[in-house]
Amino acid sequence: MITDYERLAAMNKDHLWHPFTQMKDYNNSDPLIIERGEGIMLYDVQGRAYYDGFSSVWLNVHGHNVPELNQAITEQLGRVAHSTLLGMSNVPAIELAEKLVGVSPEGLNKVFYSDSGATGVEIAIKMAFQYWHNKGIRGKTKFITMNQAYHGDTVGAVSVGAIPLYHDVFRPMLFPSHVIPYPYSYRHDGGEAGALEDTLTALRHLLETRADEIAALIVEPIVQGASGIIVMPPGCLSQMANLCRKYGVLLIADEVATGFGRTGAMFACDLEDVSPDLMVIGKGLTGGYLPVAATLATDEVYEAFYADYQEQKTFFHGHSFTGNPLGCAVALASLKLMEERNMIEGVRAKASFVERKLAALKERPHVGEIRQKGLMIGIELVRDKISRETFDWAERIGVRTSLRARELGMLTRPLGNVIVFIPPLVSSEAELDAMTDILEESIIHVTEGGSVT
């Protein structure tokens, strides 16, 4: 008699190919199979409960199986599940666009929908490219990105990506981008000031010499996510934005990870009063419920495409599920809940609670740095705290720590030697307390080979 779990695990092994996963390793382990969620807990088919300590890869806002969000979807489902935005419109897509313009940085007045962060980025870079073309300015065709940037996995998004492990194999098929240093203060000899200086100098130099070849700069504002939750020095983003403006280069803010309260502001750009020309949102947009993303543009960008049909300035781009009514309905409900629950303020209070709670962890011998902005936390583990020597990647210290956390009842996924803690914004202090306990205990267990006393 085989159990339900064994049956599913066998089919999973036979037929599923998982993202960002070496299947040979994965198939040698017992797969975790989630069956349901409630609040910030996920439950597997064997009935075990886990805290969702990484918001199901940085998406979840209000928890799982939320009555208000479920209801928004069911109500919309009773009307229509999907109809196209090609040449016609639908009710939730219109209402959400108006809402998004209201909550986003000044100047972003137009909303172009898609279905994932990567497609949203793809749209932003194509818009930036065609913007200059439509204005009759030739030659502004290149992009600037930052070292270790991650903007999604489609070919265009990978072309402005700069994580060698993910991107190098594809290099021959990509368009080349200029890469400037990202201010990684912890690993810069000059610390925060030196890192900031290097970034701004490189950007200024590039713009002084090549602005006439450059369409846009794309940046993960304030927090570079996939590279290891690396927080910019204060003032970096606003100074980069000023340089772009000065030299006539568009600024694309990729807020896919940072948007919707994660950093303690609605958008990370708000933290430095930056108004980008294009802004990409996804992940938390629907509360992490359904795949909807969007690219927001200024009137200035939009108007470069607004012309008589014969002028051929149309933006010829779209996806089958662009503006999906179910997704837009749940996004509206999610934004409503955020407002009703005063969530952004709540995030700031919860962030200081977590910061205080993790203070002791900083003293441990293998905790190199704890980086935090709002409820985005990355803990960089090192072999040697003084020299900042890294653990060898083959030791898989991050993976082992996350596995230990899972045994203790919390899910997360590391970024190399950086342990990620990005809890759902709805998490209570008691839940954050329990999750940070697990985090601490797993780090100490794996790096110090013992249990916390």
Ligand X SMILES: *Cc1c(COP(=O)(O)O)cnc(C)c1O
Known binding residues = 117-118, 150, 254, 283, 318-320, 413
| Per-residue DSSP letter, 396 | -
Nearest approach in angstroms of CB 331 to ligand X is: 14
- 156 or 282, CB closer to ligand X? 282
Summarize the annotated binding site for pyridoxal 5'-phosphate as residue ranges: 117-118, 254, 319-320
Summarize the annotated binding site for substrate as residue ranges: 150, 283, 318, 413
Nearest approach in angstroms of CB 113 to ligand X is: 13
Nearest approach in angstroms of CB 154 to ligand X is: 8
Question: What is the C-alpha to C-alpha distance for residues 236 and 40, in angstroms, rounded to an integer?
Answer: 34
Closest CA to 156 of 198, 116, 210: 116
- Buried b or exposed e, range 365-404, using 16+ CB within 10 angstroms: ebbbbbbbbbbbbbbbbbbebeeeebbeeeebbbbebbeb
Which residue has the closest beta carbon to ligand X? Answer: 117
Q: One-letter amino acid identity for 246?
A: K
Nearest approach in angstroms of CB 263 to ligand X is: 12
- Tokens representing 236? 């970096």
Q: Whose structure tokens read 């993910």?
A: 166
Q: Whose structure tokens read 């003084």?
A: 386
- 116 or 159, CB closer to ligand X? 116
Report the interface residues with ligand X, using CB under 6 A.
Answer: 116-118, 121, 150-152, 220, 225-226, 254, 256-257, 282-283
- 128 or 444, CB closer to ligand X? 128
Nearest approach in angstroms of CB 18 to ligand X is: 14
Closest CA to 263 of 377, 401, 393: 377
Q: What 3-state DSSP class applies to 201?
A: helix
CA distance to 365, 387, 392, per residue, from 383 (Å): 8, 9, 8
- 122 or 440, CB closer to ligand X? 122
- 94 or 174, CB closer to ligand X? 174
